[in-house]
Amino acid sequence: MKIMEKINKWSELVSTPQGAHHAARIQEEAVEAVLNGLGSKEWDMYMRNFNSNAEQLQRLTGQDAAFMGTTWGPLILAYIAGDALCGGGTTITTGRNMGNKLKAHLENGLSTITNPAKSNPIPPELAPFI
């Protein structure tokens, strides 16, 4: 699954009544990621919500040097972290406000094979959306 597809699936889930606790958790993780920054354990934990394989996680955590060396790489990661800060009654927009060129750059060259890390299983509530 592509990163943006997984972000969109999370968005669908948190818009449902059973998704409220996930929305609160993701928001809390996003705040901690922003406050502690790229390379922190908080950034890593937050980004694990959106990867489907190790290659995607490397990109999301800033460990993909080629991606981070581009003009758009750091901006894209900032969008994914900063755009998740929603309040009660709103929907998560994580990354969805990025333009299509930025979204395409995020996914460029990545595998879409889903192989979630054992430390970040897909919650049962998200399974129907995948």
15: in domain: yes
123: in domain: no
- Top-confidence residue, 114 or 21: 21
37-68 tens-digit pLDDT? 999 999 999 999 999 999 999 999 999 999 99
Pure H helices in 15-124: 20-36, 41-47, 54-60, 65-68, 73-82, 100-107
User: Which residues, 6 or more positions from 79, have their beta carbon under 8 angstroms from its beta carbon?
Assistant: 95, 97, 98, 102
Per-residue confidence (pLDDT) for residue 103, from 0 to 100: 73
Whether 90 shows a pLDDT value over 60: the answer reads: no
pTM: 0.72
Determine the structural domain holding residue 38 and report its residue range.
3-117
122: in domain: no
CB 130 within 8 A of CB 14: no
Per-residue confidence (pLDDT) for residue 104, from 0 to 100: 77
89: in domain: yes
